[in-house]
Each structure stands twice: as C-alpha cells, then as structure tokens.
C-alpha cells in the first residue's frame, strides 16, 4: 500500500485547523463557563460557611444569655426566698413581742384591778371596823376612860423630848391653853392637867375649856400651833389613816 503524502498532509492541516477552531470557539468558552460556575459555587459555599459560623455564634450567644438568665433567675429566686423567710421571721418575732406585751399589760391591769379591789375591800372593812369601834367606844366611854386618857396625856407630856418641850414652852407664852373634852372635866382632872401643863411650860397656865362630844372620850389640848391629843376620835382617825397608808 502506498501513502498519498499530499492527502495525508491535507488531512493533517485540516485536523490542526479543526483543533484550533475547537480550542478558540468551543473549548475556551466552555472552560470559562466552568470557571465561572466553580467560582459561583465557591462563593456560595463561602457564604454558606459564613452563615453557618454566624448561626453558631448566635446560638452560642443565645445559650450563654440563656444560661446567664437562668443563673440570674435562680439567684433572684434564692434572694426572694431568703427575704420572705427573713420577713416571716421578723413578723413572727414582732407578733410574739406584741402578744407578750399585751399579756404583760393584761396581767398588770388584772393585778391593778385586784389591788384596787383589795384596797376597796380593806377600806370598807376598815370603815366598818372603825364604825364598830366608834360605837363600842362610845358605849364604853365614861369618867373612868376619861381619867385613863388624861393619865396617858400627862405621861406623854412628861416623856416629851427636851427639844419639843422647849418649842411648846416658847409657843405657850402668856396665851391661854385651849382644852376640849368629850365631857365637862371634873375639878380634880382640871387640877392635874393644869399641874402637868405648868411643869411643861414652867408657867401657871390659864385653861380655856370647852366640851366637844365628837371626841367620844378624852381631851385635846392646843398650845399655840401644838395640838396634844388623848381622845378616842383622834386615836381612831390615826388608826384609820395608818392602816390606809399601810395598804
């Protein structure tokens, strides 16, 4: 077989021309389209990665905020629980103090009421006793009791401290001595009284006598501002006042 070199050469030239045509008018546009598609895909993938990274960041931030909010909520809940417990404790203590104070006040009122009731009962009993003793003394009063009370008065005058004796002596001066008696005094008792007062005042006293039945028995002697008593009325009054102060 013989090779037709001219035909072979023409076929080779045609092939090279075809290759050049395909390279310039078909292969390069296809490569350009492929490159653009690849770039588009890479850009899309980059945007997807960026979006994914942003989403992950946002999720982490959300989870962090959620955890922080949960922690703050737990802290606030614990604080509120403590405040409620403290307030409850304070209110209970305040209620106990108020109840104790009210109990003490009620107890004090009850004790005051009992003291007042006891004082009134004692006062009533004392008044009854005083009335009874007054009536009894009135029935027993007489010359014999008057004589005995005069003896008591003279004994008291003789036993006065020197300071009081000097004060009575100074107060007496030349003024008459007032003598009140439950009954008119016999001359013998007046003489004894005058003698006792004379020893006290170191004078010859003038007696200004009068009868005062309210004395029940005995007498009351006034020397200036000094009042010397030995009678049932004053003794009973002193007894009532002494018992009242003691109560």
119 Rama class: left (phi>0) / alpha (psi -120 to 50) / beta: alpha
Q: Around 160, how many Cα atoms within 13 Å sit in the side-chain half-sphere?
A: 21
Residue with the larger pLDDT of the pair 132 and 154: 154
* CA pair distance 231, 134, nearest whole angstrom: 12
Residue 157 has pLDDT above 90, yes or no: no
Strand partners, 222: 178, 227
Residue 45 has pLDDT above 90, yes or no: yes
On whether the pTM is more than 0.75, the answer is: no
Which residues, at least 6 apart from 198, have a Cβ–Cβ distance to it below 8 Å? 204, 205
Residue 142 has pLDDT above 80, yes or no: no
Strand partners, 211: 181
Closest CA to 203 of 194, 190, 211: 194
Band (pLDDT 50/70/90 cuts) for residue 39 is very high
Q: Which residue has the tokens 């000097």?
A: 166
Average pLDDT of the chain, as a whole number: 87
Q: DSSP string covering the chain, please? A: ----HHHHHHHHHHHHHHHHHHIIIIIHHHHHHHHHHHHHHHHHHHHHHHHHHHHHHHHHHHHHHHHHHHHHHHHHHHHHHHHHHHHHHHHHHHHHHHHHHHHHHHHHHHHHHHHHHHHHHHHHHHHHHHHHHHHHHHHH-SHHHHHHHHHHHHHHHHT--HHHHHHHHHHHTTSPEEEEESSPPPHHHHHHHHHHHHHHHTS-PPEEEEE-GGG-SEEEEEETTEEEEEEHHHHHHHHHHHHHHH-
Give per-residue pLDDT as tens, 61-88.
999 999 999 999 999 999 999 999 999 9
* CA pair distance 46, 59, nearest whole angstrom: 20
Give the model's pLDDT for residue 79: 94
Provide, rounded to the nearest whole percent, the portion of the chain with pLDDT above 90: 45
Q: How many CB atoms lie within 10 A of CB 123?
A: 14
* CA dihedral over 122, 125, 131, 137, signed as positive or negative: negative
Residue 238 has pLDDT above 80, yes or no: no
Give per-residue pLDDT as tens, 162-183.
898 888 888 887 788 999 998 8
């Amino acid at each position: 077989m013989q090779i037709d070199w001219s035909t072979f050469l023409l076929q080779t030239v045609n092939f090279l021309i075809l290759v050049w045509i395909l390279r310039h008018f078909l292969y390069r546009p296809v490569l350009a389209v492929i490159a653009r598609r690849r770039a588009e895909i890479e850009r899309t993938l980059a945007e997807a990665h960026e979006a994914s990274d942003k989403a992950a960041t946002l999720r982490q931030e959300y989870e962090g905020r959620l955890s922080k909010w949960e922690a703050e909520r737990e802290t606030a809940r614990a604080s509120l629980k403590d405040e409620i417990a403290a307030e409850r404790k304070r209110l209970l203590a305040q209620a106990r103090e108020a109840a104790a104070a009210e109990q003490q006040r009620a107890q004090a009122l009850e004790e005051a009421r009992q003291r007042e009731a006891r004082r009134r009962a004692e006062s009533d009993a004392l008044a009854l006793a005083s009335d009874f003793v007054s009536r009894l003394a009135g029935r027993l009063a007489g010359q014999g009791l008057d004589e005995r009370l005069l003896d008591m008065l003279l004994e008291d005058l003789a036993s006065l401290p020197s300071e009081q004796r000097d004060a009575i002596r100074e107060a007496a001066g030349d003024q008459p001595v007032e003598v009140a008696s439950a009954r008119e005094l016999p001359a013998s008792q007046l003489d004894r009284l005058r003698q006792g007062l004379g020893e006290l005042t170191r004078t010859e006293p003038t007696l200004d006598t009068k009868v005062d039945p309210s004395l029940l028995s005995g007498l009351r002697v006034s020397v200036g501002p000094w009042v010397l008593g030995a009678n049932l009325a004053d003794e009973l009054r002193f007894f009532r006042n002494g018992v009242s102060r003691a109560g």
